[in-house]
Amino acid sequence: MERFRSDDGQTVVVRLDDGDALLESLQQVADEEGLDCAAIVTGFGALKRTHIHVGQWAQMPPKNRYVVHEGPMELCQLSGLIADGEVHAHITASDAETTIGGHLEPETIVLYLCEIVLQVLPGLRLTREFSDDELPLLQQR
């Protein structure tokens, strides 16, 4: 993993390498760079293992359905938010036969490389707190 910070410190570009864990690496960058609040502006690359969850919205609180795809996929989109230092990201990935998307889970593994742009959001102090319906809602700290 390599990271590059802009001269003004507001943008961090991350390069992940073959075998890096996507979510765990993003959390490591957030921790080491002291990113309390930042936007995951974009991310793309290739994955060898993709682990996501999607909500089952037929009931409240919603239940999660976990999906694991073993094998190469193109990471078409990565976006999200770092709030209170915690990464919350969503992805879309495809192998040309199947496209999946949802909440990024641990043990999603990079194949070859992945490039990510993080934008620091100075002046915002955000966190997530659970509602009565057990939804993690964004709140001002």
> Residues 112-141: pLDDT tens digits?
999 999 999 999 999 999 888 778 889 998
Mean pLDDT, residues 66-80: 97
CATH (domain of 47):
3.30.1330.80
Q: What is the pLDDT of residues 5-32, one digit of tens each?
A: 999 999 999 999 999 999 999 999 999 9
Mean pLDDT, residues 84-101: 96
Does 58 have pLDDT greater than 80?
no
- β-strands 99-104, 37-56 pairing: antiparallel
Place of tokens 């949802």: 102
Cβ contact 30:85 at 8 Å: yes
What's the burial of 140, exposed, middle or buried (CB within 10 Å: 0-12/13-18/19+)?
A: exposed
Distance CA(97)–CA(118), nearest Å, equals 30
pTM for the model: 0.93
**Per-residue pLDDT at 61:** 75
Domain, as residue range, for 111: 2-140
What proportion of the chain, given as a percentage, has pLDDT over 70?
100
What proportion of the chain, given as a percentage, has pLDDT over 90?
86
More confident residue, 38 or 55: 38
Q: Name the average pLDDT for the chain.
A: 95
- β-strands 136-140, 86-94 pairing: unpaired
**Per-residue pLDDT at 56:** 77
Place of tokens 């490389």: 113
Under the banding of pLDDT at 50, 70 and 90, the label for residue 54 is very high
Q: Please, what is the Cα angle at 21 between 20 and 23, to 5 degrees? A: 140
Distance CA(22)–CA(25), nearest Å, equals 5
